[in-house]
């Protein structure tokens, strides 16, 4: 995938390199949605990591503290609570047209993927800012969004102040 090679050029060679699709298959069967290929490819390469000391990406095969499945389930439950649901443009969940939480940031943002309503539709990224509270949709794939973030573009999360020496990632403990 072109985005992964560009991401590697910025973050360095990945060390996780997970080869087994079983954790993804189990999580996708549980949730009833197939995660986009670029998200799977990136997290299979890097695993559960902190990017720029700000953005947390999680993989379904890591231990419970940094497990993508646990994160998704907890975040869906949180964003469906009556007093939180009003801060999203549509329902949190894994169904068509819903918002699937996939990442979080130390600065209070949650990154969602808009689940396509139809098979011909593209996945897109929504970033919800907890401190505002506002949200922004990005008409790009997760890989495109992550690459824009790593390049310091304004995609709600700002990495320039977090990565003055350039993008970096560190495995989550």
State residue 59 phi and psi, 5-degree precision: -115, 145
User: Which residue from 173, 171, 170, 169 is spatially nearest to 11, judged by alpha carbons?
Assistant: 169
Q: Are strands 134-138 and 55-57 parallel, antiparallel or unpaired?
A: unpaired
pLDDT grade for 51, boundaries at 50, 70 and 90: very high
Q: Is the pLDDT score of 79 beyond 70?
A: yes
In tens, the pLDDT along 98-148 reads 999 999 999 889 999 999 988 778 999 999 998 778 899 999 999 999 999
Considering only CA atoms, which of 34, 31, 36 is closest in space to residue 3?
Answer: 36
Residues 6 or more apart in contact with residue 132 via CB below 8 angstroms: none
Q: Global pTM? A: 0.94
Q: How far is Cα 164 from Cα 83, in angstroms, rounded to an integer?
A: 37
Per-residue model confidence as pLDDT tens digits over 146-157 = 999 999 888 987
**Between 25 and 118, whose confidence is greater?**
25
d(C-alpha 163, C-alpha 80), whole Å: 33
């Amino acid at each position: 995938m072109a985005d992964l090679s560009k991401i590697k050029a910025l973050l360095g060679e990945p060390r996780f390199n997970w080869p087994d699709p079983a954790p993804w298959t189990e999580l996708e069967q549980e949730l009833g949605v197939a995660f986009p290929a670029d998200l799977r490819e990136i997290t299979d390469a890097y695993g559960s990591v902190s990017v720029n000391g700000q953005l947390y990406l999680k993989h379904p095969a890591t231990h419970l503290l940094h497990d993508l499945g646990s994160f998704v389930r907890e975040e869906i439950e949180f964003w469906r609570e009556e007093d939180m649901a009003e801060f999203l443009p549509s329902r949190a969940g894994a169904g068509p047209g819903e918002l699937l939480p996939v990442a979080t940031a130390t600065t209070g943002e949650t990154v969602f993927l808009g689940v396509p309503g139809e098979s011909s539709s593209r996945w897109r990224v929504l970033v919800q800012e907890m401190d505002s509270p506002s949200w922004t949709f990005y008409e790009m794939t997760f890989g495109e969004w992550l690459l824009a973030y790593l390049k310091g573009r304004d995609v709600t999360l700002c990495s320039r102040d977090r990565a003055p020496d350039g993008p970096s990632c560190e495995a989550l403990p």
